[in-house]
Structure 1
Amino acid sequence: MAAVATPGHVYPMLGIARYLIAQGHRVRVMTGALFRERAEAVGAQFVPFDAQVDFDYRYLERHFPERAALPPGNAQMALALKDFFAAPIPLLDRQLRAAIAAEATDLLIVENCFYGVLPLLQATDRLPVIGIGVTPLSYSSRDAIFYGPRIPPALLPLELPREQLVDEATRVLIDEVQQSFNAAMVQSGGGPLQQPFTDALIGGCDRFLQLATTALEYPREDLPAGVRFIGPLRGAVAARQGGCEWDEADPRPLVIVTQGTLANVDLRQLIVPTLKALAGLPVRVLATTGGRSVDGVPAQLPDNARVRQFISFEHWLPQAALLITNGGYGSINYALDHGVPLIVAGTGEDKLEAASRVVAAGCGINLHTSEPDEAQLRQAVQQILSQPVYRQRAALVQADYARHDALAAIAEEVAALTG
């Protein structure tokens, strides 16, 4: 198994690894050295990335200082795709092939942003590969364009061409990113990609298993035959559980707020304004910093608020009336698997893609900013808590999710490809 070295990409893979190990498989996990302890804790052997490309996700600005100068959005994402995802491909490709050759290997499983697998996917004599979709399905089919206008395909007129959907500045970024991936492929000894890089990975895998269903993800008419929607992971890696935060008889609705585990350098973007915005409302507010120090939060908290580095979503989401998130796909899926509506305030990484799906499914509000003000947050919270339709739509997604067992589906595909 191989995964980009950030929690949102590694943790789902470790949950899958733990399940497959319990089924009798032997699993090696290749990712950043930060995750060695967690990988070994689930029973996997660990293969660390080469130090040259083992970037600490908590301090990306140290590795890519120009990233800090760009606001969240397409330009920042394009930079990350060129420097963080494309540039390491040649080295990751060599390391991946060496790991496969070092021991008898029957199957490779990668998450959808591990682009170090792209040169291997071009080979004709390779082992089977399963891709796991841990971010929004980024296949640029006829009715959905990655980096596009983020309009649900059902609303797009068929005659509207790509040139009218994507503005010139975005097209330039897309072309620059694609050129970076093509250069990395040639440097790896392969040929340039014949498709957009996201499509090459999704379509190049023998199976691509998306961790959601079409209740959240846009249905597509022309996806590759190997793509399968399998629903969300449940209980992937146990979270740390804090103590009791309120009296269990407290009737006030519970609002959870998270900035995820990557875009949480500045807690003043979402967590702090949420605490202030909801201080006067009859709600309880539970904020998690995703492992970041709580020093960025004012020492004097509102009476209705609690802030923790980690919380157990498995424990708290069943009690929640609402999740406020910066748009991490894992957090969104956790919430909807419990029927909890969402407010999304994030524009970095794949956040806009995720937010557009929440709105299309009718189970939340997109604030279209990574730095909402108190008035925006207060109004959105009051809107969701006062209008049952958001909860009802989230319940529809929950019901569809309940019909799926992602881990069983993965085990089924593993057996089919190795049997």
Structure 2
Amino acid sequence: MGARNLPRMRVLVVSAPLPGHVLPLVPLSRALVAAGHDVLVATAADAASTVRELGLPVEDVAPEFDFGAVARGIMLRHPLVARAELAGNGGTRGVGLLFGAVNARLVNAVRDVTEQFRPQVVVAEPLAVAGLIAAAGYGVPAVRHETNLFDGAELAAAAAGPVLRKLSIDRLPEPAAVIQVLPASVVGERPGWPMRYEAPAPAAVPSWLAETPNRPRILVSRSTVGGPGNASIMRPLVIAAAEVDAEIVLVRPEPGLPAELPDNVRTIGWVSLDAVLPTCTGIVHHGGAGTVLAAFAAGVPQLVVPGPGDRRYNAELVARIGAGLCVSAREVAAEHLRRLITDDGLRRVSVTIQDQLAARPASAEVAARVATLG
């Protein structure tokens, strides 16, 4: 039965207050809207602005929320955990402390929005456990929408502690369904509804970037989240560029780069990676889950620079499955860039994952399944 044949319903979509967390929820949200359902996204800060710019209804549940202040507070109170997180060795403990504190601050507002919006279904990403708790309190089913390379159940369990203690709840409610975007070849067998990776929104790019160049193109992207532990990605690439027969495109160039760049290095401000990657032979990036997914979907080999949080885990996973290289920022050299664009093994694995993603059900099909829960 298609989603259009089902009764119109209200779906609340809940995300942690970071653009990288809310953007993966946008394709399903758009598919639900296209099927005639009422969707409201509950998030805060920059994530709320991102959703608003994309034209989806949004409720900012904490207009003055300062994610950086929360993160600094956690680091000061837990210095050993902070050290492990900066090294990328914290597992889920540091993530749990940080997003546990975030959810503890947002949960009452999310519950208020739930009472006011009266959804039939709540969709939440793994680190927005406030959504799962609000759904259970209101008596409606919840869907956990996986967005990470880490197992979503582990992330949610790690982040739930502070919220459960605050509300005197014994355990985190189990979701009625789970949406999985990544195939087993990347993350192993995980239960849930498979869904295809889709770009959050169509985006225009300059004509020179929309066309595949005559020689290999390497895209270089850095994190949109500032903070300690983010080593320079672009400076070593600029040094190595002259020895590589490729066009190297720096997205949102880092401060402090030389005023004169090598002839084969170009720069651009913010641009949709999903729109540009099909014209690229390789990508160098910081290891964010969203960028890893975009590269998989484009079938493009990756050179991932490990960093804080989940970025080391993501970088090592990409290298372990053979879809790219894991190289520290201080070690990046011309030989790594040449291998990125010439290694047939890296490309074969990347294209195989691309094909597996493309074969998964589209967001419209998954939206129809979500609609059956309400």
Distance 1:89 1:249 in 2: 43
Q: CA deviation at 1:98?
A: 1.0
Relative distance call for 1:63 and 1:49 in structure 2 (3 A) is farther
Distance 2:373 2:296 in 1: 31
Instruction: Tell me how many residue pairs correspond in the alignment.
Output: 356
Q: Which amino acid aligns with 2:322?
A: G
Distance 2:234 2:227 in 1: 9
Distance 1:278 1:89 in 2: 43
Relative distance call for 1:240 and 1:4 in structure 2 (3 A) is farther
Distance 1:249 1:89 in 2: 43
Relative distance call for 1:406 and 1:55 in structure 2 (3 A) is farther
Relative distance call for 1:239 and 1:350 in structure 2 (3 A) is farther
* Residue 217 of structure 2 corresponds to residue 259 of structure 1: no
User: Is the partner of 1:90 in helix, strand or coil?
Assistant: helix
Name the structure 1 match of 2:143.
130
Q: Which amino acid aligns with 1:81?
A: G
Distance 1:137 1:76 in 2: 9
Distance 1:92 1:60 in 2: 12
Aligned match for 1:244, one of 205, 208, 228:
208
Distance 1:13 1:271 in 2: 29
Tell me which of the two structures has the higher relative contact order, counting C-alpha pairs closer than 8 angstroms and 6 or more residues apart.
2
Q: CA deviation at 1:183?
A: 4.4
Mind listing any 5+ residue stretches in structure 2 that lack a counterpart? 1-12
* Residue 123 of structure 2 corresponds to residue 109 of structure 1: yes
Q: CA deviation at 1:241?
A: 2.3
Name the structure 2 match of 1:161.
none
Distance 2:92 2:234 in 1: 22
Distance 1:114 1:31 in 2: 9
Q: CA deviation at 1:263?
A: 5.2
* Residue 359 of structure 2 corresponds to residue 403 of structure 1: yes
Name the structure 1 match of 2:35.
23
User: Is the partner of 1:27 in helix, strand or coil?
Assistant: strand
Distance 2:160 2:275 in 1: 41
Mind listing any 5+ residue stretches in structure 1 that lack a counterpart? 141-145, 148-176, 194-199
Aligned match for 1:352, one of 312, 315, 318:
312
User: Is the partner of 2:21 in helix, strand or coil?
Assistant: helix
| TM-score (structure 1 length as normaliser) | 0.75
User: Is the partner of 1:236 in helix, strand or coil?
Assistant: coil
Aligned match for 2:246, one of 270, 279, 283:
283
**Cα RMSD (Å):** 3.1
Q: CA deviation at 1:342?
A: 1.1
Aligned match for 1:372, one of 330, 354, 359:
330
Distance 2:353 2:44 in 1: 34
Q: CA deviation at 1:206?
A: 1.0
Distance 2:199 2:95 in 1: 29
User: Is the partner of 1:88 in helix, strand or coil?
Assistant: helix
Asked if structure 2 preserves the Cα contact closer than 8 Å seen for 1:136 and 1:217, the reply is yes
Relative distance call for 1:61 and 1:86 in structure 2 (3 A) is closer
Distance 1:329 1:416 in 2: 29
Q: Which amino acid aligns with 2:350?
A: A
Distance 2:268 2:52 in 1: 26
User: Is the partner of 1:209 in helix, strand or coil?
Assistant: strand
| TM-score (structure 2 length as normaliser) | 0.83
Name the structure 2 match of 1:157.
none
Name the structure 2 match of 1:207.
177
Name the structure 2 match of 1:152.
none
Asked if structure 1 preserves the Cα contact closer than 8 Å seen for 2:205 and 2:276, the reply is no
Deviations 1:204-225 (A, max 9, x none): 21111122211322225xx5xx
Relative distance call for 1:265 and 1:90 in structure 2 (3 A) is closer
Deviations 1:19-72 (A, max 9, x none): 3212211111111133444423444332112256x2256x87666674997433
* Residue 19 of structure 2 corresponds to residue 7 of structure 1: yes
Q: CA deviation at 1:405?
A: 3.3
Aligned match for 1:228, one of 176, 190, 193:
193
Name the structure 1 match of 2:233.
270
* Residue 59 of structure 2 corresponds to residue 47 of structure 1: yes
Distance 2:300 2:209 in 1: 19
Q: Which amino acid aligns with 2:348?
A: Q
Calculate percent identity across the aligned residue pairs.
20
Q: Which amino acid aligns with 1:136?
A: L
* Residue 104 of structure 2 corresponds to residue 90 of structure 1: yes
Deviations 1:365-392 (A, max 9, x none): 122x3x33343xx222222333211111
Distance 1:325 1:415 in 2: 36
Distance 1:11 1:186 in 2: 29
Aligned match for 1:318, one of 269, 278, 286:
278
* Residue 60 of structure 2 corresponds to residue 100 of structure 1: no
User: Is the partner of 2:184 in helix, strand or coil?
Assistant: coil
